[in-house]
Amino acid sequence: MFRCFIMKMTRHDASRRLCTRVRFAPSPTGFLHLGGLRTALYNYLFAKQHGGTFILRLEDTDRTRLVPGAAEAIEDMLEWAGIPPDESSRRGGEYGPYVQSERLQLYSQAASTLLQTGHAYYCFCSNQRLDLLKKEAQRNGHVPRYDNRCRHLHPEQIQEKLARGVPHVIRFKLDSGDEPFQDLIFGWSRHEVAAVEGDPIVMKADGFPTYHLANVVDDHYMKVSHVLRGSEWLISTSKHMQLFRALGWTPPAYAHLPLLLNRDGSKLSKRQQDIFIQSFKEQGVLPETLLDIVTHAGSGFNSNRIGRRLDELIKEFNISKITTHSALLDLDKLGDFNRVHLQHRIEDEEKCAVLVDELCQFVLQTHGLQIGDRSVLEAQYIQRVLQLRKGHICSVSELLGPIYSYLWLRPEVCRQQLEDVTSEAANIITAVIQLVRDQKSLMSTEVLNSELKLISSKLKKTKYSNVMRVLRLALSAQQQGPSVAEMMVSLGEQEVCARLQNALQR
């Protein structure tokens, strides 16, 4: 019998090690922000790198702090970010339910086991008494802690109180001999919990478990092999290890991720509206940009570079490279990151087709009825615009700004405006119309640039910069924007000729 137990344990431990199972366990008390995304991402990278499973578990046992819609929104954002869980309440899985409020039976079973084995006890202390303890500690300059009074109740006293229906909680008996554990990031750690804390509550009066019990029970039953979570939980881990041992279970390996801070070292605050993933999404930030910037902020890779995509993050992630230093997030670089990732999307045929549709919708919404020439809504045209602007724009919606309105609307410019720049305006326009007609198609910006230089060199009375100003005005009614050659290539031969002629005739 004993041998059989040992064999079972060995097999269990081996399988635990063999299959990597990690979890992201947010409380649905708010929406997903950058800190949460970073934790989820590192779990995802670790799982995928080891051919493992990424679980989303919702820790909703604190009923007073639940935010309606948060649970759904967290999973929506993970999906949007491209790191969906393999197991969750939405996706299902063998180890569900994946929401703690649906697993109450497991927690009360565990609490009963702890009571039976003498690792836990009923506590009948009233809130008034606990408040008094707290006030007294504060008055004496001590950190408030429960004095473990109910540890010492006699079994008859307990039975009598239970029979009378006195409200109670269940507390875990902290052991003073904490075993050290090796955190994969912080190294050997040990926190003498019993020396600084009173016995913690594991079951609340409302029949719900506290975080500590539910977390341990779920990590066990969900066969979690590695816990990657924020370093704020490091000091709770000794308590969790004690709970695992008391329940006769093997704890998972732990890796506590250093804090994610703003560039100036201040804490990311949930009051900063701009740290929520939903708000980045609404601003047109690409999900791969967020994943990249969040990993760029901290350690965990041999080197840092802008533009890593998810498959590269998975390949290059190295948990042993995570240091204990806080990760500093530089959101001022968000635009640079997005520019690079937008370029990647434009260079990918399938993704570019999606961008084309998106941009077409935006153009319709922004310029709608003003659009004279409907061919600007054709996929081929929009695609050309994107190909020419990639590497310059940080988001597709930038192309709706005034500088780019020439792409969608014909400008209104009159001859006088051109002649105010140079008396050679008409000659310039005529020469360029000729060039465009001769060349038939506008081949490339490079070829066009040298042709424009040639035209300019033949003009006696004006300089190259004025040639450009005249053309820019005639084509876009703007003083700045992309290069004239790029404007011409994106607009195409017919449209360039029409605009140049119009400008002369007005």
Contact set with ligand GLU (CB under 6 A): 25-27, 59, 215, 229, 233
> Minimum Å distance from CB 36 to ligand GLU?
8
Q: Which two tokens stand for residue 318?
A: 């190295």
CA distance 230 to 256: 5
> Minimum Å distance from CB 240 to ligand GLU?
8
CA distance 478 to 468: 11
Q: Which two tokens stand for residue 144?
A: 């408030």
Instruction: Say how many C-beta atoms besides its own lie within 10 A of residue 267's C-beta.
Output: 12
Nearer to ligand GLU, 210 or 422 (CB): 210
Angle at 225 between CA 222 and CA 231, to 5 degrees: 105
Nearer to ligand GLU, 71 or 477 (CB): 71
Nearer to ligand GLU, 239 or 296 (CB): 239
Instruction: Say how many C-beta atoms besides its own lie within 10 A of residue 129's C-beta.
Output: 13
Per-position DSSP letters for 250-315, written without gaps between them: ---EEEEEPPEEETTSPBP-TT-GGGBHHHHHHTT--HHHHHHHHHHHS-SBSS--TT--HHHHHH
Q: Closest-CB residue for ligand GLU?
A: 229
Nearer to ligand GLU, 203 or 491 (CB): 203
Mark out the alpha helices in 180-236 (DSSP H runs).
Answer: 193-196, 211-221
> Minimum Å distance from CB 229 to ligand GLU?
3
Nearer to ligand GLU, 7 or 67 (CB): 67
> Minimum Å distance from CB 66 to ligand GLU?
12
Instruction: Say how many C-beta atoms besides its own lie within 10 A of residue 20's C-beta.
Output: 19
Q: Which two tokens stand for residue 387?
A: 């190909």
Nearer to ligand GLU, 150 or 227 (CB): 227
> Minimum Å distance from CB 28 to ligand GLU?
9
Nearer to ligand GLU, 222 or 421 (CB): 222
> Minimum Å distance from CB 233 to ligand GLU?
5
Mark out the alpha helices in 50-172 (DSSP H runs).
Answer: 70-81, 104-116, 127-139, 155-164
> Minimum Å distance from CB 203 to ligand GLU?
17
Phi, psi of 323 (to 5 degrees): -100, 175
- Candidates 210, 260, 250, 245; CA nearest to 227 is 250
